[in-house]
Structure 1
């Protein structure tokens, strides 16, 4: 009985599929390649229709994928080239995957060319239809590239296969982990970023993937991101790896936890609290196994150069056995940067000689204090300038404080408001004074060079004594002064 109630249409699709399967099996037994080709094409369409509109299988009824695989299993490998030449890979993706899986890789270069052609135009629906075989196909791509002596030749078809497995690239495919592992093995880190930058949000075991695929993809991806110095993204990938619900934890999770501790020190300077998604038993196991790394982290957090140096020397053999020596070197470089980054908290400027006493390249990285400071300045990690007073003298480090806190911004805003209010008051006061009678009269006498009529030494008497003025002018001035004082006295009486 059909799930959707349309039993007639379901029976028609089932009948068409089984008839095509029977015809393909008969044709393959007779060696008729054209008949096999026609039957295979007839099988793909009912399969895709059934994916879009699922039906309940009857008892003892073979799965559609099983029928399709059975036909390919009975084909003569010599017929594969003829079948592939007659089929468009974009239209018959499922047939191509199965044909390439059953085709011997006696000529690796030719097989890789065909695989690349398929993956470049593969149809997502058909890839998901044969998802279990996609996993084997990805393995065969890697093995064939290795046999050809060109491991990097597997990257292009695997990348296309991963991106075309779903419309938006958000579905975890059976080839994700294999692609990340191959990029890591060949050192082609940048080639993986187009895949790693896409968030994987869809995880379904119906596509033939397990939690191990999910775990390994993020574990390999984290190592690639760390190699690209994208430590924050690498830390996030490792956090996903550690939180995988596997108990007891896998070896990959144990190694991921060790690297996660080191990346915490680079990104935050301390070990971040564990995610709540991690099982307590799993977390306890990881902490027990990773105890040397936590001991190293405590030495880092203490800020004591001697303690960190001693601990690093004691654990050198462990770091080497875990293949974490390179990451430890980056942690020690991060420690040096943090020591230098503390200087602006106390000083406005310091000579380079003092910074060299604070810094300590005890792991012999070869990076001098001056070179490290310049790297930090160029990367925007330190707001400072190296000032060279003469070619022979050592430079002076001049720090620029560009850190504005909310308190600083609030205080600055308050001062700006106070200045704005004061400016408004000054404008109003200037307007009031400029329109007053006293100011206008005083301005009149100043414009005539007579000084202030209110001053004791200047005024009308001095002007009259030193200047031969017309009597009418003098009389007018006296009248103006008398009128001003009368008005001023009447104003005071009214007040």
Structure 2
């Protein structure tokens, strides 16, 4: 039940960076509204809730909140909608590697004005570059992300660069069995003197998080061998997890 207090509470949690205080509220979808609630209250609450969800690292939830702001029927585009659109583009790339299409019920007026708005121009370019039909190379995309200058979304843009870079490395494991650090650096557009160290950092972090399965050999400037998931799904740990799942059903 949305009240006029919801956006006020969400804003103060955001300013104080006490994201966890709002967790129970933003986890639940609000279906009905108090009579005193107006459109501005609705937009502000969902925008702040999206920001809080980012603070809690719940990017899917944040994406949904910003989507609700963008799809709100309106005759005039508000600053809240514009900022929500910007974050929606970046979160789409962060989560899926490409811009997620807006629902068919999105107001046509809103869609057209967002596309034409000068403040959204570079985000639209980013959206087009990462569209499914666009065949730009990974290097072009990483270049665009790493050089993307934004005042309020710098942290999100950096996370996009990191996530897309790792996505490229994951795809390399499906094509190659062995690669040198230099070859990987070329694929993810690293030309720095310390490119080998950066590649190794990515690889070690991804191995630790079970994002890839690989063995690193430091001979010949650094080599990595990729292999399939070694889990045979019959270990004691796996059987315990299966039993836990069965018991909760």
TM-score range, shorter chain: 0.7 to 0.9
Change in CA separation of 1:243 and 1:377 when aligned onto 2, cut-off 3 Å: same
SS in 1 for 2:173: helix
Paired residue for 1:281? 109
Unaligned runs of 5+ in 2: 231-249
In angstroms, what is the RMSD of aligned CA positions? 2.7
Q: Of 140, 143, 153, which residue of structure 2 is paired with 1:309?
A: 143
Paired residue for 2:235? none
Alignment partners' CA distance in 2, 1:240 and 1:220: 12
Q: Of 194, 199, 209, which residue of structure 1 is paired with 2:29?
A: 199
Matches within 5 A, 1:20-419: 171-205=1-35, 208-289=36-117, 290-301=120-131, 302-306=136-140, 308-309=142-143, 313=147, 316=149, 319-320=150-151, 323-360=152-189, 368-380=198-210, 382-388=211-217, 394=222, 396-400=224-228
Contact 2:207 2:214 survives alignment (8 Å): yes
Contact 1:183 1:189 survives alignment (8 Å): yes
Change in CA separation of 1:193 and 1:356 when aligned onto 2, cut-off 3 Å: same
Alignment partners' CA distance in 1, 2:113 and 2:155: 25
Contact 2:49 2:65 survives alignment (8 Å): yes
The alpha-carbon deviation at position 362 of structure 1 amounts to 7.7
Alignment partners' CA distance in 2, 1:377 and 1:191: 33
Contact 2:66 2:88 survives alignment (8 Å): yes
The alpha-carbon deviation at position 253 of structure 1 amounts to 0.7
Paired residue for 1:18? none
Relative contact order, higher structure (CA 8 A, sep 6+)? 2
Query: So what's the TM-score if we normalise by structure 1?
Result: 0.41
The alpha-carbon deviation at position 179 of structure 1 amounts to 1.3
Alignment partners' CA distance in 2, 1:362 and 1:239: 37
Change in CA separation of 1:175 and 1:361 when aligned onto 2, cut-off 3 Å: farther
Query: So what's the TM-score if we normalise by structure 2?
Result: 0.77
Unaligned runs of 5+ in 1: 1-170, 403-495
